Structure 1
Amino acid sequence: MPETPLDGPHLAPRSGRPATSLVVLLHGYGADGRDLIDLGQIWSQLLPDAAFVSPHAPEPLAIAPIGRQWFGYVERNDAERWTGVQSAHRTLDAFLDTELTRLGLPGNRLALVGFSQGAMMALHTGLRRREAPAGLVGFSGIHVLPTERGLDAFDTEITGRPPVLLVHGDRDETIAPSYLPRAVESLSARGIRLRSHLSPGLGHGIDPVGLRLAGDFLAEVLRG
């Protein structure tokens, strides 16, 4: 069965000029592209020549009549997440190519920002692009790893090492805060430049400090 292309809300550059970069916003489990597109309105003040797009994940939510998922959950364990990010990777990767072509931009003018399950996809696909993105941002996410037996193959799949910013709340009850240091360790071990921030009192969400850190990070990596 052919894959259904992704689509979702877009924001043209605030400046009115042709886009010089593209920021793709990847929503979490059970949401859709409308959940994050307003981040583009906020960050466009720092990135007036950036286009923003927030695609709806490819699958209808399995447990409710509304919402989308990048992949489904049953056990919510590492093996299931690994299977999930692998299964959704090709569809997201193709979407990124389509959007860059539409805007006439090279792959290094791309930044990926993901929340929760979207952060898992941003890290997974962002490290496997044909041309490394300018940067990756993950809010309340996980750097999904295969089983120990699959780590050698995992490392050979990594095609680029863009800088990464990770932000997590220390009161997150959906994805435990312990996944932040685990991601820092696994990404750093693979030579990836990394910044991380643990937000005091924050649950599973994005706070003003995280918005500011991510906006500054995106402005830095997309400058020029």
Structure 2
Amino acid sequence: MAATVLQSGVLAATKEHTATVIFMHGLGDKGHLWQVFGYNQERIIGDIRGLLPHVKFIFPHAPIQPVTLQGGMSMPSWFDIFSSDKINGKEDREGMLRAVNHINELITEEMETSKLSSDRIVVAGFSQGAAMALLTGLTSERKLAGMVALSGYLPLRADIFAMATDTNKNTPIFMAHGDSDVVVNYQTGKGSAELLKQHHYQVDFNTYEELGHSAFPEELQDLAKFFWKVLPEQA
């Protein structure tokens, strides 16, 4: 195993393991203590896990590093954040691509150790982690089962489509956003989905009224349906 493979929290499948979701947390969080829904990790996945007993969930931990937008404070972060402007603000391209490399190493490890093909793996994330899921999926040379971006946005939009491969051009993308989100503006998330659609990606964008930078049961139900669609149980 490569020395740079990310450390992760894991929830094993409850029956024969035939699929995996790799979920990237948001800024300042950790994989094994992911609480964006206001519950502990087991409760979050427990709400949808009953329908997906064959799915293993991996929650990688982002490295701890200084974040410019937070006054240089060190915290778990997939990349540095220079500006709250997700459209025109300066972005940490180098840090993002380094994180993508780490996530790809984790995918490789999962394929080798679990004997899965890449099309039985979904990359997913919340907020900053959602940006990583999209960047990883769009630039991947491996065919994935799906991508999930909760309360997130499309990073490096000036050149991401030049970086993208055709491998996941038709891979389903589930995006969800609360219309009261003030951390990642709702219009930023919606605009990201519209831009992906303009480039002929298969995006299902879901809006949740009066929801801030978080999630709630209806969203979990929609997410569970997506997982079941792209990662059906195999005989």
CA distance in 1, matches of 2:166, 2:97: 13
**Match of 1:167, as an amino acid?**
A
Runs of 4+ in structure 1 off by over 6 angstroms are none
Normalising by structure 2, we get a TM-score of: 0.84
Q: Tell me if structure 1 keeps the 8 A contact 2:82–2:92.
A: no
- Equivalent runs, 1:98-137 vs 2, <5 Å: 98-137=109-148
Normalising by structure 1, we get a TM-score of: 0.88
> Which one of 196, 199, 221 corresponds to residue 190 of structure 1?
199
Whether 1:80 and 2:80 are equivalent positions in the alignment is no
Uncovered stretches (5+) of structure 2, i.e. residues with no partner? 35-40
Q: Tell me if structure 2 keeps the 8 A contact 1:139–1:167.
A: yes
Distance 1:166 1:216, change over 3 A: same
Q: Tell me if structure 2 keeps the 8 A contact 1:81–1:144.
A: no
Whether 1:47 and 2:52 are equivalent positions in the alignment is yes
Paired residues in the alignment total: 217
Distance 1:93 1:208, change over 3 A: same
Whether 1:166 and 2:178 are equivalent positions in the alignment is no
CA distance in 2, matches of 1:141, 1:130: 23
Q: Tell me if structure 2 keeps the 8 A contact 1:27–1:35.
A: no
Distance 1:135 1:152, change over 3 A: closer
Residue number in structure 1 paired with 2:61: 56
Q: Tell me if structure 2 keeps the 8 A contact 1:14–1:49.
A: yes
Residue number in structure 1 paired with 2:13: 13
Whether 1:222 and 2:231 are equivalent positions in the alignment is yes
**Match of 1:22, as an amino acid?**
T
Residue number in structure 1 paired with 2:38: none
Whether 1:142 and 2:153 are equivalent positions in the alignment is yes
Seq. identity, %: 28
CA distance in 2, matches of 1:3, 1:101: 15
